[in-house]
Each structure stands twice: as C-alpha cells, then as structure tokens.
Structure 1
Amino acid sequence: MGRAIYVLPALILVLVAALSSVFIVDEREKALVLQFGQVKAVREEPGLGFKLPLVQEVVRYDGRILSLQTQPLEVTPADDRRLIVDAFARWRITDLVEFRESVGNGGIPVAQARLERIMTAAIRQVLGGVNSDRVLSEDRIPLMVQIRDIARQQSQSLGVEIIDVRLTRTDLPQQNLAATYARMRAERQREAADEIARGNEAAQRIRATADREVVEVTSKANADADVIRGQADAERNRILAEAYNRDAEFFAFSRSLEAYRTALTQQGKSIVLTPESDFFRYLGSPEAAAPAAP
C-alpha cells in the first residue's frame, strides 16, 4: 500500500514528462526547437516532434505567404514632381535559423518592420530615377520588378524571400492636383488648337483643289462649246450656201424679210433711207422686185 502511494505520483510525472516532450507542427507552421536560446532542431514538415521537457522549448512561425502593406510615403521622381506612393508586398520565411538569429524573440512583427524599411528604401531608389509620367502610367510592371529585386536582395540576410511587390497607389499630393489639372487642360487645349489648325489647313487645300478643278472643267467645257459652236456655224454656213446655190433669189428674199423684221421691231430707233434704196427692194411693186432681164 505504501509503495503504491509513491508509484502513482511517479507515473503521473512520467506521463506529464512524456506529454510535454511531444509537440505537433501544423501544416501552416514551421517550428524551431530551442535549448537555452540555441537552435537544436528545425521542423518544417507537419507532424509530431519531440523535445526534452523543461529544457527545450518550441518556437512556432507562420509558414504561409505573408503580406506587408507599407505606409504612404512621399517620393520625388527625376522630374521633381512629388508623389504619394503605397506599396504591397508578399513574403515568406525561407530559413528559420537565419530568421531567428536576425529578429530574435521579436518574430514576425520585427521582421515586418525591417521589411517595411527595406521596401521604403527600394521604392525611393527606383522611383527617384524615373519621371513621374512613367510612375503614373498604367504599365508599371518593370518598376515593380526592380523594387522587388532590390528588396529581395537586401532582405536575404533576414532569412526571408520577397515574392512580389505591387504599387497600390501613386497619386499627386493634394496641393499639386490643381496645378497638374491646369497643366493637363492647357496641354489638351494646345492639342485641340493644333488639330483645328491642321483641319483648317487641310480644308484650304481641299478648297484650292476644288477651285482648280472647277476652273479646269469650266475651261474644258468652254473649249468644247467653242468647238461645237464652230462646227454648228460651219454646218449652218454649209446649209445656207447650198440653199443659196439652189435658189439665189429666194435666199435674198428670206434675208431681206429677216432684215425687215429686225429693223422694224426695234423701238426707240430711227432709220433714214431713200425710197430708191436697195433695202426696200421687196417692199415695192413686184416688177421692181423682179430681177432685171439679161
């Protein structure tokens, strides 16, 4: 009975020691086994692990990809236009031992603070060497790649890897917005004036071409009309000549009647002729109008 009293507490102590020597690593975690602050084992795979009770301790770290949002910072690109920039980074722990030696007991919060300083320096270095138009454009991937590479190189000593960097905001300070909008409006007005000037120049060229074509078409039409009139006059003269050759007296009579009509229908004009004038040849007696016998 007396021995049972001592055996039970011993069994309890053994059970407690056994339970305290076992630990479980979750699939989302990585763990270090420390003994008096020194790393004794590294567990990166999920499952059961063992440690010396009361002597060793287990320190757990998040093994997933972590995110880091930087505070808004003001940068000055190469053209001296100030910008407000926010960045977002994704990173993960790659070397637990080096990470522990770098951040100590601070863990991930200390690493986040140091990574933010590294990110801020990389952003200032990259964006300070380009113009603000490139930073404000939609195609900023090359700039983000440069920032990631610089930050990745400088963070290797922390035992971490920066996977990706994104510029989430690149805006002008509020006091510069009005001046920027005014400059943009002036540029658009200048472009509009240039377009209007080019349009007027093109319109003048089109009008000049149209006027030249009108002159050319009119000249050609007049030339064709002159040719047609000449042909018509020639045909008329030919017909008159044939008619005159057929009956000279009738042709003379017709011409006299046309002359009478023209002369006698004009108003406000007077004709002074002698009665014996040849103009009145066909207004006299038929005998007078008849041609003299040979």
Structure 2
Amino acid sequence: MSDQTANLEQVMPEAKTAFGDQRGIGILVPLAILVGWELCGQFGLLPRYIVAPSKIIATWWEMLSSGELIGHVGSSMFRQSLGLLFGASCGTIIGVLAGMFGPIGRFYEPLVSLIYPVPKVAILPLIFAWFGLGDLSKIVVMTISIFFPTYIAAYHGAKSVNKIHLWTAQNVGAGKARLIRQVVIPSALPDIFNGLRIGLALSFVLMVTTELVVSTKGLGYVIARAEENLRFDRMYAAILTIAILGFCADRLLLKIREYFLVGQLMSKDRGHG
C-alpha cells in the first residue's frame, strides 16, 4: 500500500506539470495568432475584408461610447431572450411530460422526428408571411428552433429516471404532480441543462440569422449594413459583441447549473475520488 502511495505521489506532480504545459500552449497559440494578425495588418499584408485587431477594438469602443452599440444589443437581446424563454420553457415542460406519460410521448415523438431535421430558417418566408416582418416573426423562429433540443434533452432525462426512485415515491403516497416535482425534475436536471445550453447557443445563431434577413435594428442588422458599405471594422465589432454576449450568457448558465446541481456534482466528485 505504501509503495502504491509513493508511486502516486511521483506521478501526480508529473501530471500537474503536463496539464500546466497544455494550458500554457492553449493560451500561447491564440495569442500568437493575434500578434501575427496585428503585425500583418500594420504592414498592410491583409486583404481589405480582414481588419487588424487594434482597428476592430477601436471601432468597437467608438460604437460603445456613442451608445449606438447599446441600442443594437438591446434589440437583439430582447428577441433572443424571449425566443429562448418561450422555446426552452415549452420544450422542457412538454419533454418532461412526454417522458413521464406514454400517450403524450407517443403523440410528440413522430412529430419531433419529422420536423426536427428541417432547417427552421427554410420556413422563414412562411413565418414572415404569417407574423409580419417585425420582432414577432423572429421570436417565433427562435421559439420553434429552441423547442426541439430542449424537448429531446428533457424527454430523455425524464425517461432515464431510476424506476426504484419512482416506485419508492409512489409507495409513500406521492401523486403525479409531486412525483414530477420532487423526483423526475431533480433527476432529469443534468439532461435538461444540457438541452438549455444547446438552446442558448442556438438562440444566438438564430438571432443573428433572422436579423440578417429582415431587420432595422440589432447586431445582425449592423453586420449586414457594414458588409454592404464595406465597413468591415464595424462588422467585426458586431461579431465581437455577439461573442462576448454569448460567452457571458453561457458562463451564467453554467453557474446556475452548478447552483442547482451542487449535490449531484459533489457526489460525483466523491465517487471519482
């Protein structure tokens, strides 16, 4: 036993050193790319449609300081937030119910299998015809698209709940509502959050896509107009803003996930230990 402990103590520093080296390489590579990109821009070696990072940052700060960027961010995030809220709520609720109750699952499964592979952007002309060219049509597209990954995640999460937990709760007199609230949803939360994370990323993609097609405000609108006017610095500034917003939203969702799953994550860590 002591020999095994000694061997582990010898291996662990080496593993930590290797991990540290990999993390350092992971930082150095993009940093080197940025430096090379900037140098090429300073020496005029870049094509017109590729702008040096310093120019992008300067334009981004100018748009932010003038308040122009804030207005476009507000419009985009309004649509994205409502689309995510409606799509994720409907997908999660119906997915859990479909996983719990056979008739609901048998009704939705063929529909999901049929409609899910169809790109929702392909039906944009129909949605514009039905709901107009304003915010509502864009929110509808996001709602429909986000519904599917959140539904599938919640459905499989509910289906994979340990039957022993369900039988135990039923034996102590738990009704259907209490069973879903206290057993099914807590057990399915890891899968539900996986679906929410996919839906979150998808909401940003669709936010930009719908604004590129028809819009008078928003980050997608900025990208489209900047490309038309050959203002590639403004285009990259808008893309940078989308990346920052998406990163912050994803980190926030992970923090919320960690808060709700703290017990499961701790037990998993103890199991690995």
TM-score by length of structure 1 reads 0.21
Name the structure, 1 or 2, with higher relative contact order (CA <8 Å, separation 6+). 2
Q: Greater helix share, 1 or 2? A: 2
Q: Greater strand share, 1 or 2? A: 1
